[in-house]
Chains A and B, each alone.
Chain A
Amino acid sequence: MVDVSMAEAGAGPVPQKGVEGERRLRPYLLFIWPALIVCSAVIIFPWLFTVWMSLHDFRIGSPMTFIGLDNYKDLATNRRFLESIGHTFYFTVLSVALPMVLGTLAALVFHKKFWGRGFFRTLFIMPMMATPVAVSLIWTMMFHPQLGVLNYLLSLVGLPPSQWVYAPGTVIPSLVLVEVWLWTPFCMIIVLGGLASLPSEPYEAALIDGASQWQMFWKITYPLVAPFLVVALIIRTIDALKAFETIWVICNGGPGTASETINVYLYNQAFAYNQVGTASAVVVVFFAIIVALSLILLWARQKAAWT
């Protein structure tokens, strides 16, 4: 009796079992429909349609033929696709690790108080605000082996010219250079936010106990800022896996197929070769890879959370 009166007095709806509960929930179910329809239209249907197309031999302009899992079997033995997976991971690892390390170092520098800090911080984050396509066009000119400024700069310090994105061996590190320039500020901002939120008490205690700067960083700063690093890691990994504009604009996945990542391979299949069936199968495989990576990163986030 008491319980019922408390619920009626405004303690919120109490879940009820059985026919009565269903009867009370029924009017509210209507409100779910708009969200359900939108989600179905923009997420579930395209996804299912992609899976369905991946089971067909479908080239734009030709009839569709059901071929079961043949597209997947072809991908499993397709040298170019398998190489593109390797290129994707090579590119992703470098363009996540380097901005993370440099961004963290930059955050530690900008966390200190010094003259002109605000100005230099603004200057530092400017690359992040630029449009990737425009940035890529500028870097393309800078990479030119004969007319570009980078080789000129190398010559000033007595170094031999590099072929940058014009040679298979140097193309991915050169593209990573652009990514580092573009995204180090992003990592810096996240880590800087983390540093600003740290409590001062542990540092005061450490100073009293005579801890060195390195000990304070390793034993206090790093563990406390680790959750922020994981957030930066997740976002950067997703961004790097998705990277397309810089690679496409600067070198189209070349020379040859030396920098062809899964995204570029997918784009070629879908829009250059009009092989929609094959492209759909690539999407499904890529989706599975991203889900697997996300689960690993989420697990890492759980591990890094403050306890």
Chain B
Amino acid sequence: MSKGFTTRAISRRRALQGAAALGGLAAPMLNSVTAYSQSGGFDWKRFKGQEVEVLMETGPRADLMKKYKGEFKDLTGIELGIEVIPEQQARQKVAIELNSGKPSFDLFNFAYHVQKRQFEKGGWLLDITSWLKDPQMMPAEYELGDVSKLGMSFATTSDGKVNSLPILCDYFILYYNKDLFAKKGVAVPKTLDEMMAAAAKINDPAAGISGFVGRGVRNANVVLWTQLLSGWGQETIKGTKLITDTPDAIASAEYYKKLLSSYAPQGVAGFNWNEAQGLFIQGKAGMWIDATGFAAPIEDKTKSRVVGKVGYALPPSGPKGHGSVTFGSGMAIPKASTHKEAAYLTMLWMTGPKMAGRMLQVGGGIPFRTNPLKDPAVLAGLTIPREWAECAAGCAPISMSGLPVIVPVTEFRDVIGTALTNMLGGADPATELKRATTEFQPVIDKSEQT
């Protein structure tokens, strides 16, 4: 069991992270129409005429950057080429090209929980620590102080260098169908026990209604389990030692097995987020725990049958803790880029407060900043309910890492994920977790040795 999560009380580290995330309350209000020009020796036009190639993963943030790239050119005189490819392919492309030493891009976005450690060990990213402190390279309107400590900790390597800038974070929250809750007279669950009871009441297979829906498929399911595990005040790793077979880990896995086997739809062992989302937006599931980024499709009238009927709540607390697993993504420049400075300006623009506000408005994700979350101008432009933004802000104080920061994280998700999927097929949680832990520990040991 992780020392910091032995009680239901919020640990000091998480309290600090959360306070930092919300700490921007005291920071000056962002004026979303601030005109970037010159400030304190900083000149946006300093690298005009250059071309920057950006690689982004498919999603709302890429759509937004493409939409406003003309505005960026007017501001800086830098031409952006934005290549957008699906997440899995982008991850492979980035790793292979960075390893080759001749990447085809000057700037790219990546998930910290998947590739941070790999890039750090490879030494492939540009160290921007000194630029962040240089007034000629850091405009005041960037509001670096508003970036949460959690975000900056993601962006900082183990030896204290900053080699990326955080752009978005995803908290895990509870989505619930207000109509189904009202019909059965169920209150919004605050604890895992209440959630199990609510799922049992709402579950009605004959009517095609499931009490709960969530990720059951190998690899993707691990993050739902680690969310539940946070209720036992535990993470998955301590130093380099896996703690996925402790009594608390087994108890949380038994909860996962019971919740999904008893109250989730048939075939949930093959469900990823998209299958779960498909069922939830059809109004066929009472609750769904997943990342904040899914509010946009839920509230899209062209795709969803539950527009305006969905409630957003903090994930329920467990017997020993209360957490919201958090995943961050950032932007980074390869060391081998030939347009480092222009790419850096692009990175400032993409991760800055103005674009963060726009991202929030379309429900594309939660920025690692607090000012946009309380800026009336930004909130007035929200295309999704304000309750969602408030819920996300409430997750900040209880946020915790959902996956270990190790190089073989995909393999970790596959091995533990297979164990979880097997449980949904009837296997014993203790046996499966012990087997998976024994199988994967040598992989971590080997990875950390090299």
Contact = CB atoms under 8 A, between A and B. Distances in A.
B101 to A, nearest CB: 12
B118 A61 contact: yes
24 contacts: A61-B118, A61-B407, A62-B407, A63-B450, A144-B267, A145-B265, A146-B208, A146-B284, A147-B278, A163-B266, A164-B267, A166-B268, A166-B269, A166-B271, A167-B267, A167-B269, A252-B217, A254-B421, A255-B269, A256-B269, A256-B417, A256-B425, A271-B92, A274-B118
Interface residues of A, number: 30
A44 to B, nearest CB: 23
B328 interface: no
Interface string B278-304: 110010100000000000000000000
A166 B267 contact: yes
B216 A146 contact: no
A62 B414 contact: no
A273 B118 contact: no
A168 interface: yes
Nearest to B278: A147
A166 B271 CA distance: 7
Contact of B218 (A63, A167, A254): A254
Contacts of A165: 270
A262 to B, nearest CB: 16
B121 interface: yes
Contacts of B119: 61
Contacts of B95: 60-61, 274
Contact of B425 (A161, A168, A272, A274): A168
B210 to A, nearest CB: 8
Interface in B408-436: 408, 410-411, 414, 417-418, 421-422, 424-425
B279 A147 contact: yes
Interface string A259-297: 000000000100111100000000000000000000000
Interface of A: 57, 59-63, 65, 144-147, 161, 163-168, 171, 251-252, 254-257, 268, 271-274
Nearest to B100: A60
Interface of B: 92, 95-96, 99, 118-119, 121-122, 124, 208, 216-219, 265-271, 275, 278-279, 282, 284, 407-408, 410-411, 414, 417-418, 421-422, 424-425, 447, 450
A144 B275 contact: yes
A255 B407 contact: no
B121 A61 contact: yes
Contact of A251 (B270, B279, B408): B270
A273 B279 CA distance: 31
B414 A268 contact: yes
Given A145-B267, A255-B269, A256-B425, A273 B216 contact: no
Closest 4 CB pairs of A and B: A166-B267, A166-B270, A145-B267, A61-B122
A260 B124 CA distance: 33
Given A59-B450, A272-B410, A163 B425 contact: no
B410 A255 contact: no
B218 A252 contact: yes
B279 A256 contact: no
A59 B268 CA distance: 33
Nearest to B409: A273
Contacts of A62: 121, 407, 450
B116 to A, nearest CB: 12
B270 A146 contact: no
Nearest to A78: B439
Nearest to B450: A62
Contacts of A61: 95, 99, 118-119, 121-122, 124, 407
